[in-house]
Amino acid sequence: MTLPLIQIYDTTLRDGTQSEGFSLSASDKIRVAQKLDALGVAFIEGGWPGSNPKDVEFFVRARDMDWKHAQIAAFGSTCRVKGGPEDDANIKALLDSRAPVCTIFGKSWTLHVKEVLLTTLEDNLRIIEQSVAYLRSQNRRVIYDAEHFFDGYKADPAYALETLQAAIRGGAETVVLCDTNGGTLPWEIERIIHDVRRAAPTPFGIHTHNDSECAVVNSLIAVREGATQVQGTINGVGERCGNANLISIIADLELKMGYKCLPEGSLAKLTELSHFVDEVANVTPDDHQPYVGKSAFAHKGGVHVAAMRRSAQSYQHVPPEAVGNKMRVVVSDLSGRGNLLSKAEEHGVEVEGEEVVPVLNEIKELEARGFSFEAAEASVAMMLKRQEMHYQPPFELIDFLVNVEHRSGRGIFAEAAVKVRVKGEVLHTAAEGNGPVHALDLALRKALLPHYPALKNFQLADYKVRILDGSNGTAALTRVLIDTQNGVKRWSTVGASANIIEASWQALVDAIEYGLLMAG
C-alpha cells in the first residue's frame, strides 16, 4: 500500500516566536523561511499580519520572492461575532498580506465560545463558516485550525464536530485538530480521531503542544490515524512548553514509519537547519535533542564504544549521516581502550592498542583529581600524540614566573616571564597583561611566534573557570577550560589545580601545541 504524502506545515515564524526568549526580526524570518523552503516543507506560516508591523513587513518582502517548494500562509482568526468577514479588520489584513494561503482558527470548545467569545454556539458556527467561505471567494486556499479541539471534544463531542462541519461547508481544504493546551494523552488522541474520521471525511491535520511531553508522539499517532498535515516548529519552540518538534517528527515519519514528507535528499539537512534556527534566534542549541543534538550520537561508556567499533548499529538507532549529524566518541573516566583508539583515529594519531593504556590510566587518574575531558578533546589528542614513538613537541617549558601588582596611579597589572626550549634553543621572554593568564599567553607567544608564524591566527574564544570543591574556600581545586580558534576550527583544552595559574597554564599549553600541530 502506498502511504500518502504528509504535508509539513511550519509555524516557527508565528507560533514559535510566542516562546519565551525566542524572537525573530522580519529579516530573521525571511532567512529562516528561505531555509525551510530549501528543506522542502509544504507550508510556511509567516505570522499574523494584523498583529504587528514586523509580520506585515515579512509578507511584503515574501510576496516578491521565488519560493521553490513552500506556500506562504498568513495566520488569523475568524471574523468578530458582531459583524461579518467583509468588514472585519483581521480578515482584511489576511487578504492584504497577499499570501496564497490563509490559516484561520476558530473555537471548538463550548467553554471558549461562551466564556471567551461571549456569544452563542450558533453564532460561533456562523462566523466559522462565513469566514472560511469569504476567504475562499477571494481565491485563497484556506486551512482551518480547530483551536482547543480535543478539550472541546471531551466537553461536548457533538458540538466540536459541528465546528469542523461549519469549516468544511465554508470550503476549508484541510481542518486541523489542535491540542492547544497540550494536555491530551496519546490514547485519547487515537480514540477521538477515530470518531472524527467517521463524521468529517475532509483531509485533516494535527497541531499539538508539548505541555504533557506528548506533542511528537501525538502527532505521529494522528498520522497513523489518517492525518495528512502536521503542524509544528523547528526544535519544538513555542508558547509555554513548546510546539511539536518538526525535526523529530520529520525524521520519525521518513526513517521509522515509511512516509514521505520532504523532497529526496532533504532529510540530511535537518541538523544544519536546527542549528541555523538557534543561531539566528541567538539561542543555545540543545545538545541532547534527538537526531540533531551534538550528543544525539555521542558514545561515552567503554563497553558501548567497543561494540560500536565492531558494528555501528550496536548502539545507534539510525545512521547519524541520514539527518546530517555525526557519531562522536567522548573520553572520560568511564572510557575503555576503544574510546582512546577512536580518538586517535579521529585526530590522525598513530598508536596501537596497548599504547593507549598509559593514556587511559592517566585520564582516569586526572579525572579523579578534577579534570574533565568530555569537552576538552584537544587535550586528549595531545596526550595521545605524546605517546607516539618519535613525537617531538614544538616547545618545552623550562619554567615561568607571574607577578600581579597594584601600583599607585596605575592600578592592577600582571607581568609574566617564560623560559622555553624551542628547536634546541632556550628562550627567555616577558610580557605584561591585563591579568596573569593574559600575561603568560603574551610571553609564550613572544617566544614562539618567530618559529611558528601560524600562532598569530590563534585567538582565545572562551575561558571558563569552575570551582570543584567549594568547601575548601580559596584553596579549592579549580578547573579551567579554554576554547581557542584560528578562524577555521575551534578546539577545547583543560587544566586543573588548586592554583588557578597552573590550571590555566596546562590548558594554554595544550591549546597552543594542538593548534600548531593542526597548522602543520
Class of 395-451 in CATH: alpha beta
Residue at grid coordinates 617564560? 418
Amino acid occupying residue 479: R
Contacts of 211 (CB under 8 A, 6+ apart): 181, 182, 183, 240, 241
Contacts of 227 (CB under 8 A, 6+ apart): 6, 177, 193, 204, 205, 206, 219
Q: Where does residue 406 fall: left (phi above 0), alpha (psi -120 to 50 degrees), or beta otherwise? A: beta
Pairing of strands 101-107, 141-147: parallel
Per-residue pLDDT at 323: 96
Cell of 275: 542549528
- pTM, two decimal places: 0.79
Per-residue pLDDT at 202: 79
For 233, which DSSP code? B
Rounded to an integer, what distance in angstroms lies between the CA atom of residue 519 and that of residue 315?
34
The per-residue pLDDT string of the chain (520 residues; one tens digit each, 9 = 90 and over) reads 678 899 999 999 999 999 999 999 999 999 999 999 999 999 999 999 978 899 999 999 999 999 999 999 999 999 999 889 999 999 999 999 999 999 999 999 999 999 998 999 999 999 999 999 999 999 999 999 999 999 999 999 999 999 999 999 999 999 999 999 999 999 999 999 998 988 777 799 999 999 999 999 999 999 999 999 999 999 999 999 999 999 999 999 999 999 999 999 999 999 999 999 999 999 989 999 999 998 898 776 666 666 666 777 787 899 999 999 988 766 655 655 566 566 656 666 666 666 666 666 766 776 676 666 776 787 777 777 777 778 788 888 889 999 988 877 777 888 999 999 988 889 999 998 888 888 999 999 998 999 999 889 988 888 888 877 656 655 567 888 889 998 778 888 888 888 888 888 888 988 998 888 887 7
Burial of 26 (0-12, 13-18, 19+ CB in 10 A): buried
Q: Give how far the C-alpha of residue 378 lies from the chain's centroid of Cα atoms, to the nearest Å.
A: 24
Asked whether the beta carbons of 425 and 438 are under 8 A apart, the reply is: no
CATH 3.20.20.70 positions along the chain are 7-263
CATH 3.30.160 positions along the chain are 395-451
What are phi and psi for residue 207, nearest 5 degrees?
-140, 110
Rounded to an integer, what distance in angstroms lies between the CA atom of residue 158 and that of residue 153?
7
Burial of 269 (0-12, 13-18, 19+ CB in 10 A): middle
Beta strands (DSSP E) in 48-113 are 71-77, 101-107
Give ∠ CA 128-134-136 in degrees, rounded to 5: 100
Asked whether the beta carbons of 463 and 471 are under 8 A apart, the reply is: no
Class of 7-263 in CATH: alpha beta
